[in-house]
Amino acid sequence: HLPPIYVITPTYARLVQKAELTRLLHTFLLVPALHWILVEDAPHKTSLVSNLLKSSGLSYTHLNMLTAPQRKLQEGEPNWLKPRGVEQRNEGLRWLREDRPSTGGASEQGVVYFADDDNTYSLQLFQEMRSTQKVSVWPVGLVGAMKYESPVVQGGQVVGFHTGWRPSRPFPVDMAGFAVSLRLLLERPEARFHGDAAQGFLESSLLQGLVTVDELEPRADNCTKVLVWHTRTEKPKLKREDVLQAQGQGSDP
């Protein structure tokens, strides 16, 4: 039987949210033994997300954790200023460690993946990560102002990283570029994301507590295939909507 894949996704309310979550959900429905941990960046669970999950047919856990106001990226601030989704991913980790239904032994089998709500995921990616022993890694497309970033593999071992930016980071990998075994996360209860980590060090802040670079398990044909893309969705323009609104003729909310 397949070890389950636990996918942790932070999400927040904005116009494209339902579209993003629908796209993601329809990918995940095609993956066997997947449990979606969807964590809303909100003071309470919204009915939009609740209804979407209820009618999804997926195995899921619905959580919420509001980003502290001083940590929240404000409208107009450059997006490198503060990391996003940190407290939500940590809340997902807390659920896995403390609240996940467990009978011990075999139920500790599993793989944990952090999937942002706007990226694009190939089904093959989930096959690749399923066999993760400690931490598995692979290339991520369209990230870091490059066509892709990737671990560099020699003789089946990660020996470095193809990245255009701060290669000195302990683990210069994107959030979408690795998966962790559930067992390892349970063995290291202190490991988590540090929201105060310097720019680009968020992934390292978790991975440093789990593995060393030589222990990383390359996937996707020794990191020669791109199976996930760091796509970003354009913010919808509402110029006409705003005009109509001012005339009292805006769309039904």
Which residues are the active-site residues?
203
Question: Which CB atom, from 76 or from 101, has the smaller least distance to Mn ion?
Answer: 76
Report which of 172, 177, 6 is spatially closest to residue 89, judged by C-alpha positions.
6
Question: Which CB atom, from 67 or from 204, has the smaller least distance to ligand UDP?
Answer: 67
Question: Which CB atom, from 40 or from 128, has the smaller least distance to ligand UDP?
Answer: 40
Of these partners, ligand UDP, Mn ion, none, which one is at the site of residue 11 (CB under 5 to 8 Å by kind)? ligand UDP
Least separation in angstroms between CB 16 and ligand UDP: 10
Least separation in angstroms between CB 233 and Mn ion: 8
Q: What is the 3-state secondary structure (H, E, C) of the chain?
A: CCCCEEEEEEECCCCCHHHHHHHHHHHHCCCCCEEEEEEECCCCCCHHHHHHHHCCCCEEEEEECCCCHHHCCCCCCCCCCCCCCHHHHHHHHHHHHHHCCCCCHHHHCCEEEECCCCCEECHHHHHHHCCCCCEEECCEECCCCCCEEEEEEECCEEEEEECCCCCCCCCCCCHHHEEEEHHHHHHCCCCCCCCCCCCCCHHHHHHCCCCCHHHCEECHHHHCCCCEECCCCCCCCCHHHHHHHHCCCCCCC
Least separation in angstroms between CB 84 and Mn ion: 8
User: Any contact of residue 41 with ligand UDP (CB under 6 A)?
Assistant: yes
Q: The tokens of 219 are what? A: 């996937």
Question: Which CB atom, from 48 or from 243, has the smaller least distance to ligand UDP?
Answer: 48
53-112 residues near ligand UDP, rule: CB under 6 A:
67, 72-73, 79, 84-85, 88
CA distance 253 to 234: 20
Binding-site residues from annotation for UDP-alpha-D-glucuronate: 10-12, 41, 84, 89, 116-118, 230-232
154-183 residues near ligand UDP, rule: CB under 6 A:
none
The residue number with the shortest CB distance to Mn ion is 118
User: Any contact of residue 144 with ligand UDP (CB under 6 A)?
Assistant: no
Number of residues engaging ligand UDP in binding (CB under 6 A) = 16
Question: Which CB atom, from 54 or from 232, has the smaller least distance to Mn ion?
Answer: 232
DSSP 77: S
x/- site string to Mn ion, residues 110 to 139, per CB under 5 A?
------x-x---------------------
Residue ranges that bind ligand UDP, judged by CB under 6 A: 9-12, 41, 67, 72-73, 79, 84-85, 88, 116-118, 232
